[in-house]
Amino acid sequence: MLTKSDYLKYTQCCKYLWLHKYRKDLVGEDAKAAMKRLFDEGCEVEKWAYKLFPGGFDAYAGSAENDFENAVKNTKKLVKARKKVIFQPTISNWDIFCRADIIKLNPKTGEYDIYEVKSSTEVKDIHLIDLAFQKICFEVEKIKIGNMFLVHINNKYVRDGQINPQKLLVCENITDSVKDIIREVGLGIEDAQKMLANKNIEPDVRILKQCRNPHDCDFIHYCWRDIPDDSIYEIAGSLRKDKLEMLLNMGILQIKDIPEGYVTNGAGMRHLRAIKTQKVFIDYIGIKRELAQLEYPLYFLDYETFNPAIPLFDGYRPYQRIVFQYSLHIKNNPSAGLMHYDYLCDKISEPTNELAESLANAIGKNGSVIAWNKSFETGCNNEMSCRCGKKYAGFFESVNERIFDLMQPFKKGYYVHKKFKGSCSIKKVLPVLAPDLSYKGLNIREGSTASESWLKLTDQRIPKENRQKLARDMQAYCQLDTLAMVKIHEALLKL
């Protein structure tokens, strides 16, 4: 049986679908956690979408969440009874299967309109395919579909008191766009079913740019297991899809074999040169010029944020950053020891004023504030300045005027090492410039986990000792981010 989610995987990559069906044992825990996060976020948005349709009937009422067979029966009964609004209507002829979010009867036409709920802020191509699949499924079962709507987040909405679902969500009619691809999706369904019929033959698929578009595939680690170091995929971002395919057609898999003049992107060219020459390129004058902008004391600053689809507090838009944590290392002069300050909000409350007060007490009026990819920190500062009013607006403005981006020497190509893999991420740079410092021993090792940990930290239902341990893990991760900048800065100074 081919489900809607199955088909969406097929449109990304046929091998993705085959592995999902027959090799689920290959899915790692990180991928499972990521899937759960997306599912939970979608469910939260659906709850508010249902409020736009009062009096709806749930096809799963009285049934378990995965009792699809009963839900199919209930859907048919509700449709036969001409119920105006049905939530989670489920359709299957045991050949294809889909569960829609909402269908609503149009009394003028006698047809049902589909309302698909997404946590995105705009219509995407994948949403058109999603609704086309649904229309096909319903009409196979003789349920005539009229208009099709995408219910998505309005990113201009600002919370003021209780959530207003009419303002939070937008219902966008995309019927014509969906109809344009119905035939194509119908043919695709047939192709996907034929492919799945070969249970013992894993599809042989050329890796191009499909592994992360439109979503990260759950099987990247498996499909990429034989990709060698220094492969052309390390600079795939610097190549168009057709150029990447041309290299594969020429039998070229490693960067060292790419013909001269083939890569024209600056970052890609620098990485290509580092691989081909096996040399480290350092522009001492460029680095010196960058570091000359710094004025002691130095404040190494990093924020952690949480970006919920549904605003938690007044004054926030959907997906707007809640800055709940900072780490700050201070070096008063070149020979001084390090001082460390931090803040972590451990309750569900708007943290801006508390964080601003703590940070303003630690950062003086003079000296450079150092960040990695400063656009993130400056953006957070601008948003916090708007929220905390006049009391700290001048402080955040001062911080932004003095902020220095430690990523720039690497982004500008003043330091190029093949082990950076063409990236200027701090997690690529740190192992080269400060190999004794590592994220590997931490329980939290990357920003998305740190972000998602905040809701757990503030959940009073979780035992206190568990939350205290989580707080220590979150503090250790954020502290290492700023200590990493300290060590990278020291390594650049030694040059």
Question: How do residues 352-363 score in pLDDT, each as one tens digit?
Answer: 999 999 999 999
Average pLDDT over residues 113-142: 97
DSSP character for 351? -
The band of 37, judged by pLDDT with boundaries at 50, 70 and 90, is confident
Mean pLDDT of 155-171: 97
Checking DSSP bridges between strand 85-87 and strand 145-153, what pairing results, if any? unpaired
> DSSP string covering 142-157, please?
T--EEEEEEEEE-TT-
Q: Which pLDDT score, from 0 to 100, does residue 457 have?
A: 97
Q: What is the Cα–Cα distance from 389 to 411, expressed in whole angstroms?
A: 35
pLDDT over 80 at 473, yes or no = yes
Q: What is the pLDDT of residue 31?
A: 80
Peptide bond into 297 cis (omega under 30): yes
What integer best gives the mean pLDDT of the chain? 95
Give the pLDDT confidence score for residue 383 in this predicted structure. 97
pLDDT value of residue 39: 83
Integer Cα distance of 312 and 321 in angstroms: 11
- What six digits make up the tokens of 2? 């081919």
pLDDT of residue 416: 97
pLDDT of residue 355: 98
Please report the pLDDT score of residue 143 as a whole number: 96
Contacts of 231 (CB under 8 A, 6+ apart): 253, 254, 255
Residue 93 is predicted with a pLDDT of 86
pLDDT digits (tens, 9 = 90+) for 221-239: 999 999 999 999 999 888 9
Q: For 50-91, how does the pLDDT look when each residue is reduced to its tens digit (9 = 90+)?
A: 999 999 999 999 887 788 999 999 999 999 999 999 999 999
Q: Are 150 and 123 in contact (CB under 8 A)?
A: yes
Report pLDDT for 63.
81
Q: What is the pLDDT of residue 251?
A: 95
Q: What is the mean pLDDT of residues 285-293?
A: 97
Asked if residue 40 has pLDDT above 90, the reply is: no
With 0.75 as the threshold, say if the pTM is over it.
Answer: yes
What's the pLDDT at 373?
97
CA angle 175, 178, 184 (to 5 degrees): 155
pLDDT at 94: 79
- Give the Å distances, CA to CA, from 116 to 7, 224, 426: 16, 34, 39
- Counting Cα atoms < 13 Å in the Cβ hemisphere of 80 gives 7
User: How does pLDDT run across 311-345, given as a tens digit for each residue?
Assistant: 999 999 999 999 999 999 999 999 999 999 999 99
Contact between 302 and 372 under an 8 Å Cβ cutoff? The reply is yes
Q: Which of 351, 326, 320 is nearest to 341 (CA)?
A: 326
DSSP state of 467: H
Residue with tokens 């009096």: 55
Average pLDDT over residues 158-180: 98
